[in-house]
Amino acid sequence: MLHIINKSPLANNALDSCLRVAQSGEILLIEDAVYAATTGNAFEGKIRKALERFKIHVLQPDLEARGLADRIIEGVIPVDYGGFVDLTTTNKTCQSWL
């Protein structure tokens, strides 16, 4: 399953809830959720831990818009819009944690 998150981890508990409930699969961080994928943010530890059971992707244009494309946490995979579409087709189900 693909889990899509679009809220900042430090302003909303969507990513926290996803990590608490979901067991494995892939995560895509978009919009304000891309802040979770940046080094030095208070959520970094949780992302590193989550990388043990999830493949985590981050939408590159959203990182660039926020001036943070140069500080992706190691192991998190940047994708473009094409990659976003691929993820939604290669996964049988898709859940947006709004």
Partner 1 sequence: MSHINIKKFMFVNRKAPHGTIYALEALEVVLITAAFDQDVSLVFLDDGVYQLKKGQQTKGIETKNFSSAYRALEGYDIEKLYVEKESLEARGISEEDLLVDVTVLGRTEMGELMNQQDVVMSF
Instruction: For partner 1, give the closer residue by CB, 49 or 81.
Output: 81
Q: Which two tokens stand for residue 22?
A: 């979901």
Q: Is 38 one of the binding residues for partner 1 (CB under 8 A)?
A: yes
Q: Is 82 one of the binding residues for partner 1 (CB under 8 A)?
A: no
Q: Is 13 one of the binding residues for partner 1 (CB under 8 A)?
A: no
Q: What residues does 28 pair with on adjacent strands?
A: 4, 57
Question: Residue 4: which of 43, 30, 34 has the closest Cα?
Answer: 30
Report yes or no: 68 and 44 within 8 Å, Cβ to Cβ: no
Q: Which two tokens stand for residue 79?
A: 């994708």
Q: Is 28 one of the binding residues for partner 1 (CB under 8 A)?
A: no
Q: Is 44 one of the binding residues for partner 1 (CB under 8 A)?
A: yes
What does the binding site for partner 1 look like in residue numbers (CB under 8 A)?
Answer: 6-8, 10-11, 31-32, 35, 38-42, 44, 60-62, 64-71
